[in-house]
Amino acid sequence: AQPLAYCLPGLRQRVVVSEGVVHRLTRDELIAVIAHERAHLRARHDLVLEAFIALHEAFPRFVRSRSALGAAELLVEA
């Protein structure tokens, strides 16, 4: 029932939408959500985020900042 939509990158890329999304959105809205998730897959946003996560994890806690990783997550979703 929870409205969720996300993509799964990899060899068998998938766009996942929950029943909550299907039941709450109009056909055009659903098409837009699926197009949005497919755009994430085409642009390989998973690799962008993975690079920022790796950099974040590479630095000790007292040195690293969450702001760069947070900004990348925000920009990828925009």
- Examine the domain organization and report whether 25 and 56 are in the same domain: no
Range of the domain at 28: 1-43
Summarize pLDDT for 17-31 with one digit per residue, the tens: 999 999 999 999 999
Domain count, the chain: 2
Q: Is the pLDDT of residue 34 over 80?
A: yes
Q: Which string of DSSP letters, residue by residue, matches 5-24?
A: EEEE-STT-EEEE-HHHHHH
Summarize pLDDT for 2-20 with one digit per residue, the tens: 999 999 999 999 999 999 9
The SS3 of residue 36 is: helix
Structural element, H or E, at residue 5: strand 5-8
Instruction: Evaluate whether 10 touches 18 at the Cβ level (below 8 Å).
Output: no
pTM score, two decimals?
A: 0.82
Q: Of 7-16, 40-49, 61-70, which range is least confident?
A: 61-70
Give the model's confidence band at 1: pLDDT under 50 very low, under 70 low, under 90 confident, else very high: confident
- Examine the domain organization and report whether 71 and 48 are in the same domain: yes
- Examine the domain organization and report whether 35 and 64 are in the same domain: no
